[in-house]
Amino acid sequence: MIITSSLPVSPGRVYILGGGRFGSSAAFKISHQWPRCKVYLVDRIPELSSKIPGEHHAGTDAIEFLRNNLDRRRPDDLVIPCVPLHVAFNWVLGHIGFCIPVPVRVMEFLPGAVAGNDGCIYSSLSDFICPDSCPEPEDFCSVTKKEQDEPLFGIMGKINLNSYSTIVVRSGQLLPGVGAITSGQLSALLTEVRKEKGRFLIGTASRCHGVIHGFVH
């Protein structure tokens, strides 16, 4: 199952998780493109540079902040993950269940698969570092110009293992180099997981990059 959503043409509220290089860059790009957009910048570090646009929430856990601030009545609010964790998975984990290792055989389904330290698997269609300003074309790689037959979120969504349910959150392209998911997608993910108990593979993927975790409740 793939949970997808069209990103708003003119976002009204954005939560940027992480105030480092990528998070601060996203804040500048969004504030320049949509000056009226309300930007919330969240990071665990005790202080963020005053030069970065947006309302700062330093010394704050990203997932806890989402739990306290995401509004189901605003499904088009955007979440931009720029922290070293799988936000969609940890969103679910913050409500119910436990993390379990992804079965090794999942690596057979995914291109460029690499095992993570916490039992997750990372995947990528590229074997090089992508440019920060990649516009994520639909049919070809912006660097190699080679055609791409199927996006990674589609490949990941087809993983079919006995006794596991696979749910993938499709990350969209808000601006070149800025990926986002919606509040509505996070709500839908939690609703799907709560429908029945069992083992799940929970992934997040764009057209080219993704991560998948194991989960049980």
pLDDT digits 0-9 by tens, 77-92: 999 999 999 999 999 9
pLDDT, position 169: 98
pLDDT per residue as tens digits for the range 149-180: 799 999 999 999 989 999 999 999 999 989 99
How would residue 135 be classed by pLDDT, with cut points 50, 70 and 90?
low
Q: What pTM was estimated for this model as a whole?
A: 0.93
| Mean pLDDT score of the chain | 93
| Cα of 182 vs its chain's centroid, Å | 9
What is residue 5's three-state secondary structure?
coil
Kindly state the average pLDDT of the residues 22-45.
96
pLDDT, position 130: 67
pLDDT, position 148: 74
Residue 129 pLDDT greater than 80, yes or no: no
The contacts of residue 190 (CB under 8 Å, 6+ apart) are 91, 92, 95
| 29 phi/psi in degrees, rounded to 5 | -65, -45
How would residue 34 be classed by pLDDT, with cut points 50, 70 and 90?
very high
| Cα of 108 vs its chain's centroid, Å | 22
| Cα of 170 vs its chain's centroid, Å | 8
Cα separation, 41 vs 177, in Å, equals: 17
How would residue 142 be classed by pLDDT, with cut points 50, 70 and 90?
low
- What is the amino acid identity at position 57? H
Among candidate residues 188, 149, 150, the one with its CA nearest the CA of residue 169: 188
Q: Where are the chain's structural domains? A: 2-216
Cα separation, 7 vs 2, in Å, equals: 15
Among 33-42, 109-118, 143-152, the minimum mean pLDDT is found in 143-152
**2-216: CATH number:** 3.40.50.720
Give the H/E segment covering residue 197. none
pLDDT, position 147: 73
Kindly state the average pLDDT of the residues 200-217.
96
Among candidate residues 178, 179, 200, 173, the one with its CA nearest the CA of residue 189: 200
For residue 130, the tally of other CB atoms under 10 A from its CB is 16
The contacts of residue 137 (CB under 8 Å, 6+ apart) are none
